[in-house]
Amino acid sequence: MTERVTCDLLRRQLVVFEKDGVFLHTSAKRQQDQDSLIPGVIRIIEKTSDVVVQWMPVNEIGDAPQIVYSKKESPGNVVCRAEEDLYDPGYEPDWAVISTVGTRARASEEIPAPAVKAGPRGKWAFSLSLSELKSIRKNKPGLGWSYLIFMTKDGVSIQALHFHHGGTRALLKALSKYVILATSPKDSRLYLVYSHDSYALSHSFDELQLFDDNSSHLVSRFLQDPYSATFGSFSKVTNFFRGALKPHDGSQQRPLSEMAMGLEDEPGFEVITCQANLGDRPSVQRQLAVTEQEWEKHVDADGRVSGVEDLKKRIFTGGLSPGLRKDVWKFLLGYYPWESTSEERKVLLRRKTDEYFRMKLQWKSVSEDQEKRNSLLRGYRSLIERDVSRTDRNNKFYEGSSNPGLVLLNDVLTTYCMFNFDLGYVQGMSDLLSPILYVMQNEVDAFWCFCAFMELVHHNFEESQEGMKRQLLQLGLLLHVLDPALCDFLDAKESGTLCFCFRWLLIWFKREFSFPDVLQLWEVLWTGLPGPNFHLLVACGILDSEREALMSSDYGFNEILKHINELTMRMSVEDVLCRAEALHQQLTACQELPLNVQEVLGLAKVKSPTHSTESDGSPQPLSPSQTQELELTDSVSPSQPDSSIEILPTEDTATPQSLSP
């Protein structure tokens, strides 16, 4: 009888977390193969002497699976690559649902699977003790569905689990109650796993290089008061979760209010929250456009433009009359210096014309035989030809099959490849050139104005996508301050990364507004007023106008994306600009604006990162949350000023490499 009770106790287990809609993608074929998508449920189970994470297949229910794609095929096993291969598992396609299936398990190792119903899918089930878990890897930014890969201490990884209905953040938050998670210094998408015992904690601190002091000396302090011990030893912390460890019995945890007060006194450490009182939003009205008569009042007899700052303010608040754009855009873009005379501009134009046609002749003189041996030029020309054929074809300037406007568009873009070899041509540039060529009606003027525009936005097209990542992070930072409730809603719908804003920022809303509205929007943005990154506030203005439509619905990730895409050509640029300017005035009037927000708006100088042992490369610890104040954040921002931020974007920052049509 005693033995039977003992066996029952040993078998007793408690499910503390459960999430369905978690799929294994077992086929690399581009087809909807039922065997390639295995639906399942993931659980965290507390057993008598252990805690395990378990995945088991279930009968497929719900929506039909979407297309599965993988660059590599390999035999279907639960165990896959070793850790050195895990840093880049080959997940490259944009906006695709992808997975790789592992190679083979080590011959002497087997991962035990729980008992499941007999069937071909049962072999994919697994149960992994948290004591054997070494790391967790999340998906590459830019995917519609999130996935996680579990790595064991033996150096093998469990088959990637794809969360079709979201839930990666909730799972990681649940896991953080049992283990310590820390972002790897080598890869921001890799979380290292450590246990709570003092030896492991000390070892992890040494390995992660979190502290200047001796780690073993700090462990006891950390266990007694994790807040002060941790924050007192960091010079830079961006994503630390308060409530890192449970204190020993008899020790009382300091209240959060006390900790916030104590942290403000730490030298070199600043706590920034999103609880700033913004006050009432002012009402903004657009003014009439600058007329030709008004412009002439600013031009003297020699052709110099006077009162430039006042003129820029007028352009910002009202835009330009269509007849002025051909001349004034050259000044706004820096092609013509404001202080230049009419004669100086004529000399400049002759020189720029010669320079343009010299570069154009370089690619025009390339023979067919040469081009066959120049794959880079051949690739650029092919991509340009494809994009030109579908750029603004409903505009009379570009419509028809033999329109001279298309020829000019092609020639200017190809010549730009000769001007900027490093960047070349990237999809989306044709959208930026088209309005400029339409206004200038001259390929030389259009080319140099386009070059000046590209100086402003070239980072949008760099292969690393660091510029786009930074802008999406800055946009999320602004939105967290302006509308925390909307951010919470988007986070709950797996849309907190603002990936649907990618195209807005990439080509400056070119496809979101009508052609005449784009002309007005760009000349307003080219003034540089009221400060840097005003285009981010334009994005905030659009989201603000759609706030009620989004939050009053039961939209999920796909529905939000669809709703945003359907805004194309349905928005008023006047209304959006009024909202954006009002948001800027509301933020600048706030006396409690976080430092990072001030830097985004140009209200404070951006601090250069200090070269200390804790700065670059130091991972950020993630630990069990004992409060509801902070949500788990997966994104790591670029180098931040010396401050702690509690309002960073969440989940995966979407950075697709190509432009969505």
Would you say domain 466-601 falls under CATH 3.40.50.261? no
What's the CATH number for 11-59+124-197? 2.30.29.230
Which residue in 136, 119, 109, 115 sits closest to 127, CA to CA? 115
Which residue in 134, 132, 137, 82 sits closest to 112, CA to CA? 132
Nearest-Å Rg of the Cα atoms of the chain is 29
Strands 180-183 and 161-163: unpaired
- pLDDT > 90: percent of the chain: 48
Question: Can you tell me the distance from the alpha carbon of 101 to that of 122, in angstroms, rounded to the nearest whole number?
Answer: 16
- For residue 275, is pLDDT > 80? no
- For residue 3, is pLDDT > 70? no
| pLDDT band of 27, cuts 50, 70, 90 | low
Question: Can you tell me the distance from the alpha carbon of 652 to that of 280, in angstroms, rounded to the nearest whole number?
Answer: 33
- pLDDT > 70: percent of the chain: 66
Is residue 41 within 8 Å of 65, Cβ to Cβ? Answer: no
Written as one string, the DSSP assignment of 178-244 is: TSEEEE-SS-TTEEEEE-SSHHHHHHHHHHHT--SS-HHHHHHHHHH-HHHHHHHH-S--SSPPS--
Q: What is the pLDDT of residue 214?
A: 44
Q: What is the pLDDT of residue 48?
A: 80
Phi, psi values for residue 589, rounded to 5°? -80, -15
- For residue 617, is pLDDT > 70? no
| pLDDT band of 291, cuts 50, 70, 90 | very high
Q: What is the pLDDT of residue 614?
A: 36
Count of other CB atoms within 10 angstroms of residue 134: 16
59 to 68, 530, 546: CA distances (angstroms)? 19, 57, 38
- For residue 392, is pLDDT > 90? yes
Question: Can you tell me the distance from the alpha carbon of 104 to that of 106, in angstroms, rounded to the nearest whole number?
Answer: 7
Average pLDDT, the chain: 74
The number of angstroms, rounded, from the C-alpha of 585 to the middle of its chain's C-alpha atoms is: 26
- The residue-averaged pLDDT of 312-337 equals 98
573 Cβ contact partners less than 8 Å away, ≥ 6 residues apart: 513, 514, 517, 518, 520, 521
Q: What is the pLDDT of residue 256?
A: 32
- For residue 441, is pLDDT > 70? yes
Q: Which of 23-32, 582-591, 598-607 is least confident?
A: 23-32
Q: What is the pLDDT of residue 248?
A: 37
Predicted confidence (pLDDT) per residue in 10-19, tens digit = 456 788 999 9
Question: Can you tell me the distance from the alpha carbon of 434 to that of 396, in angstroms, rounded to the nearest whole number?
Answer: 12
542 Cβ contact partners less than 8 Å away, ≥ 6 residues apart: 504, 512, 567, 571, 576, 579
- The residue-averaged pLDDT of 404-423 equals 96
DSSP-derived 3-state class of residue 138: strand
Residues linked to residue 22 through DSSP beta bridges, in sequence order: 40, 163
Question: Can you tell me the distance from the alpha carbon of 341 to that of 339, in angstroms, rounded to the nearest whole number?
Answer: 7
Is residue 630 within 8 Å of 241, Cβ to Cβ? Answer: yes
- Between 236 and 203, the more confident residue is 203
- For residue 65, is pLDDT > 80? no
578 to 18, 316, 501, 582: CA distances (angstroms)? 46, 11, 19, 6
Strands 644-645 and 271-272: parallel
Predicted confidence (pLDDT) per residue in 178-230, tens digit = 888 888 777 778 888 887 654 444 444 444 443 334 444 444 443 343 333 33
Predicted confidence (pLDDT) per residue in 75-119, tens digit = 344 333 333 333 333 333 332 222 223 333 333 333 343 444 445
350: tokens are 């002759």
Question: Can you tell me the distance from the alpha carbon of 334 to that of 314, in angstroms, rounded to the nearest whole number?
Answer: 18
Which residue in 322, 340, 297, 349 sits closest to 523, CA to CA? 322
384: tokens are 């340009």
Residues of each domain in the chain carrying CATH 2.30.29.230? 11-59+124-197
Fold of 329-460: Helicase, Ruva Protein; domain 3 (1.10.8)
Residues of each domain in the chain carrying CATH 1.10.8.270? 329-460
Which range of 33-47, 247-261, 330-344 scores highest in mean pLDDT? It is 330-344
| pLDDT band of 400, cuts 50, 70, 90 | confident
439: tokens are 């206004």
381: tokens are 């020309």
- Between 32 and 57, the more confident residue is 57
Which residue in 207, 194, 187 sits closest to 89, CA to CA? 187
455: tokens are 């100086």
Q: What is the pLDDT of residue 608?
A: 55
544: tokens are 């603000």
- The residue-averaged pLDDT of 512-519 equals 97
Q: What is the pLDDT of residue 50?
A: 87
Which residue in 139, 154, 124 sits closest to 41, CA to CA? 124
Q: What is the pLDDT of residue 156?
A: 75
- The residue-averaged pLDDT of 587-603 equals 94
Question: Can you tell me the distance from the alpha carbon of 24 to that of 36, in angstroms, rounded to the nearest whole number?
Answer: 8
Predicted confidence (pLDDT) per residue in 520-533, tens digit = 999 999 999 999 99
Predicted confidence (pLDDT) per residue in 136-164, tens digit = 988 876 555 788 999 888 877 788 888 88
Is residue 321 within 8 Å of 294, Cβ to Cβ? Answer: no
- For residue 63, is pLDDT > 80? no
First vs last C-alpha separation in the chain: 70
Residues of each domain in the chain carrying CATH 1.10.472.80? 466-601
- Between 602 and 624, the more confident residue is 602
Question: Can you tell me the distance from the alpha carbon of 145 to that of 37, in angstroms, rounded to the nearest whole number?
Answer: 13
Which residue in 427, 413, 591, 443 sits closest to 506, CA to CA? 427
Is cis: bond before 337, omega within 30 of 0?
no
355 Cβ contact partners less than 8 Å away, ≥ 6 residues apart: none
Which residue in 346, 348, 290, 282 sits closest to 527, CA to CA? 290
Question: Can you tell me the distance from the alpha carbon of 535 to that of 531, in angstroms, rounded to the nearest whole number?
Answer: 10
Write the single-letter amino acid at 541.
G
- The residue-averaged pLDDT of 466-489 equals 95
Q: What is the pLDDT of residue 23?
A: 87
- For residue 292, is pLDDT > 80? yes
Question: Can you tell me the distance from the alpha carbon of 531 to that of 537, in angstroms, rounded to the nearest whole number?
Answer: 11
Q: What is the pLDDT of residue 254?
A: 37
- The H or E element spanning position 14 is strand 13-25
- For residue 439, is pLDDT > 90? yes
Residues linked to residue 621 through DSSP beta bridges, in sequence order: 182
272: tokens are 């920034």
Q: Assign 3-class secondary structure to 39-74.
A: EEEEEEEEECCCEEEEEEECCCCCCCCCCCECCCCC
